[in-house]
Amino acid sequence: MYIYIRCKHLSSKYHIFLLRVGSKKSNNILFKPACNHDEHNDCDANAICSDLPGGSYKCECNNGYFGSGTECADIDECSGTNSCDSNASCSNTAGSYRCPCNEGYTGYETYCRDIDECAGLNWCPENSDCTNTYGSYTCSCKENYLSDGRQCHGTYKNNIKDFF
Ligand SMILES: [Ca+2]
Ligand SMILES: [Ca+2]
């Protein structure tokens, strides 16, 4: 019959011993790797366990977490240093973070560029001019056209002129 004994050091490292009960032999204490079995170590679920010589082991928090190794907490990168583009918003996640580009911008996390809404598919109504701006665009009616807030209509004078 065997029993396990776990001893904690001040360095937060542990030793795991496998003790053979009833044996008087000097080799009745065996070191047992702790990292192969979660019940034999106190590493946090978000930590890496490393077996050390002599049966001890250490716990180190995964990237994106901070703490002793036996307790690890998520780093909120959005409240500190991060690599989000200035035209992106930072979104904290467990163990990492995201940087979705703001509306009107396209790209990938660390590089967001303005969408030119006036190029290609013009989003402005008929008889208007499109002006691209950073993060948006504007539409203004062409000369002799008036806006009703949604469309541009020819003025009475312009219609008469077109009629002849
Ligand atoms: Ca995080
Ligand atoms: Ca734009």
- Are the C-beta atoms of 8 and 23 separated by less than 8 Å? no
| Cα–ligand 2 centroid distance for 86 (angstroms) | 15
Task: Report, as an integer, the average pLDDT of 33-62.
Answer: 85
**Number of the ligand closest to the Cα of 96:** 1
Q: What is the pLDDT of residues 50-90, one digit of tens each?
A: 988 877 889 999 999 999 999 999 999 999 889 999 999 99
**Number of the ligand closest to the Cα of 138:** 2
CATH 2.10.25 residue spans of the chain = 81-114
**Number of the ligand closest to the Cα of 61:** 1
- Predicted local distance difference test score (pLDDT) of residue 9: 55
Residue 150: pLDDT band with limits 50, 70, 90: confident
Task: Report, as an integer, the average pLDDT of 126-153.
Answer: 92
**Number of the ligand closest to the Cα of 102:** 2
- Predicted local distance difference test score (pLDDT) of residue 56: 82
- Predicted local distance difference test score (pLDDT) of residue 66: 97
Q: What is the mean pLDDT of the chain?
A: 82
| Cα–ligand 2 centroid distance for 148 (angstroms) | 23
Q: Which residues have C-beta under 5 Å from ligand 1, the single-atom ion?
A: 74, 92, 97
pLDDT at residue 2 above 60?
no
- Predicted local distance difference test score (pLDDT) of residue 40: 72
**Number of the ligand closest to the Cα of 134:** 2
| Cα–ligand 1 centroid distance for 50 (angstroms) | 23
- Predicted local distance difference test score (pLDDT) of residue 123: 81
Task: Report, as an integer, the average pLDDT of 97-123.
Answer: 91
| Cα–ligand 1 centroid distance for 79 (angstroms) | 10
Q: What is the pLDDT of residues 84-109, one digit of tens each?
A: 999 999 999 999 999 999 999 999 88
Question: What CATH code is assigned to 81-114?
Answer: 2.10.25
| Cα–ligand 1 centroid distance for 94 (angstroms) | 5
| Cα–ligand 1 centroid distance for 88 (angstroms) | 16
pLDDT at residue 137 above 60?
yes
**Number of the ligand closest to the Cα of 74:** 1
